[in-house]
Structure 1
Amino acid sequence: MTTIRPAGPAAGPRDVVGTGQAACHHGEILQGVFLDERRRACHALVTLPMNGPGAHAAFLRRPDDGPDAVSVTPPGRAKARAAALLAVRECAALREEEPCGGALRLSGDIPVGLGMGSSTSDVIATVRAVADSYRLRLAPGTIARLAVRAEGACDPLMLGPGPLLFAQRQGRVLEALGTALPPAVVVGCALGGGAPVDTLSLPARTGDDRELARYERLRRMLRTAVADADPALLGRVSTASARLGQRTLHHPEFETLTAIADRTGATGVQIAHSGNVAGLLFDPRTPGLDRRMRRCARALHSDGMTPTVTFTTDPAPTSRSEDPFHGRPHLRGRRPTGPDTPRRRPRLPAL
């Protein structure tokens, strides 16, 4: 948090700026309807985090402006603006001050509409920037609560890379599954030509007894996969979840994608349940992994699903291949991750 004198609108002597960042994800490993601690049906998901692009926010807090005087650049980021208004009120109350206005500036390189959590990343970065302008660090649970209020549902990006079964419409964790997903190398691609998906138009899952039983079984399988660090079981869970998601998403490439996975020895596929991003999961210990990934890339390309990025489920790799198909991603190093971790831009399609 620093006092600033921006090149734009003149800043007063009390104007201060805070900054915040947030990561993205690569869709979901599992998403559906599950039972919460009271045995009630609850929509929830397990995201596939990635060390990829991110959202950045700077909030110029202006104590002399009214609480509704918040502008956003670029325009049209209504969810981020709502998050800024909520965060100002939250932080002002903690500081026992009157809420005020300000100017929010967003930047980043997360493609919109692919199911990579772009709106949640904007919202989390915004809340962190507002809190930073108040010299506060809000708890992840508080950020989740504000994010749900701002956008109706959110991904658990504020809670770190560990696998969580997260109720996205309530902003709460149903189950912490472990410290990390099983080891896997993910070869990403975009379905539907990379066209954005209107997530609000998708029909909601019913949550009947039969559907609940299916998703609870996948929940148990994923719990075992995490406990045993089993990439094969992880692939089975993600493929089954993606297949169930086909009832609402109807990706025409789905059967082709699973056929490529079978031919190249992938453990399974994963597809964003609210977008077009997809991936093939490989066990990093598989013999001839580099060769299999090159075959996978060629097959995806020939079938119109251009490969975009490769990464690992390791929550803190030292590096990953910038061109994913000319060498195996590094899996052994450790690098701390968090909202301020430098990130390299992945090779995503021009949208």
Structure 2
Amino acid sequence: MAEARCPASCGELIQGWILGGEKLVSCPVNWFSHVNVSDGMPSKHERPLMRQMLVNVLQHLGIAAEAAKGLRIDFDSSIPLAKGMASSTADIAATAQATARHFGVSLDENTLATLCVKLEPTDSTLFRQLTLFDHQTAATQRPNEWLPNIDILLLESPQRLNTADYHRRDRRQSLLEQAATLSQSWALFSQAMQDRDHHKLGEATTLSACANQQLLPKPRFDELLTIVRHSGIYGLNVAHSGSVVGLLFDAGRHDVEQLCWLLQQRRITDDYPQQHRLQLIHGGVR
């Protein structure tokens, strides 16, 4: 038996038309999809793309596809589905690495990225560092050394969105209309990484979230911006192809209880009935 796990993402730190095409930087958090691959009869409870990934890894390793019939995939995931939290990327990336480990091999990040984008648009959570990533082709991979010490209050909406369907929409014109804003967001993000500046990072993520309101609006967004300004937290980020919102703060500097009270007082919790306190962590398949 071999196992692997890959983290969820609280949406994206930034996403949009950057450097000539749509790219993103995921926001990895401490929820995981755990996958085990072992000898045995396939389970009826696998998620569909897991089995396809297993077969693709066998092909990559030069192993006959027939071998898949004798391999079992078991998994356990705490990641909500269809909310923009990279649940599918976590599943297939962990499946890929667990399958390779079952045969005594370890896949590097570039190989994982290539395998994943062959199946679907992929989040950059499979990279250890915060990485600007072309999530549809894997052609762009720009890592950043700094991992900010950031707490996240994740606001979970009951709304669900099929990410694959969303990416099939013709969004090019809308993305191009927001290209100037995303250029500014990317510049702020890059400067924040260089200066290790949490506030500048929050500006970058908030700007990207504002641009995304033109493509996939989030309920009560203006009120959330008001809370960000009045509370002094770093900023917010969103799932650009999902429904969750993240409030970015430092538990040592900001009052999270006050933040929760403000959400309740303004009845924003009506639209986001579940809140989860998470942390920004290193990405990568463990």
1-side partners of 2:116 and 2:284: how far apart? 18
**Consecutive unaligned residues in structure 1, runs of 5 or more:** 1-16, 36-40, 63-69, 316-336, 341-351
- 8 A Cα contact 1:261 1:296, kept in partner: no
Q: Which has the larger radius of gyration?
A: 1
- 8 A Cα contact 1:33 1:205, kept in partner: no
Identity %: 24
TM-score, structure 2 length as denominator?
Answer: 0.87
C-alpha deviation, 1:217, in angstroms: 2.2
C-alpha deviation, 1:154, in angstroms: 0.6
- 8 A Cα contact 2:7 2:33, kept in partner: yes
1-side partners of 2:2 and 2:9: how far apart? 24
| Matched residue, 2:38 | 60
What are the residue-to-residue correspondences of 1:164-313 with 2, within 5 Å? 164-176=131-143, 178-191=144-157, 194-202=158-166, 203-206=169-172, 211-283=178-250, 286=253, 289-290=254-255, 293-301=256-264, 302-303=267-268, 304=270, 305-306=272-273, 308-313=275-280
| Matched residue, 1:32 | 16
C-alpha deviation, 1:204, in angstroms: 4.3
Pair 312,60 (structure 1): closer, same or farther in 2 beyond 3 Å: closer
Alignment: residue pair count: 276
| Matched residue, 2:93 | 124
1:157 pairs with 111, 125, 128, which one?
125
Pair 223,56 (structure 1): closer, same or farther in 2 beyond 3 Å: same
- 8 A Cα contact 1:187 1:307, kept in partner: no
TM-score, structure 1 length as denominator?
Answer: 0.72
1-side partners of 2:125 and 2:43: how far apart? 22
Q: Does 1:103 align with 2:72?
A: yes
1-side partners of 2:25 and 2:90: how far apart? 16
1-side partners of 2:151 and 2:170: how far apart? 31
2-side partners of 1:219 and 1:204: how far apart? 23
Q: Secondary structure at the match of 2:140?
A: strand
Residues 24-79 of structure 1 deviation map (CA, whole Å, 9 limit, x = unaligned): 111111000122xxxxx2211011111x22111122347xxxxxxx845414x221
Q: Does 1:137 align with 2:103?
A: no
1-side partners of 2:156 and 2:3: how far apart? 31
What are the residue-to-residue correspondences of 1:74-113 with 2, within 5 Å? 74-75=45-46, 77-91=47-61, 93=62, 97-99=63-65, 100-101=67-68, 102-113=71-82
Pair 312,20 (structure 1): closer, same or farther in 2 beyond 3 Å: closer
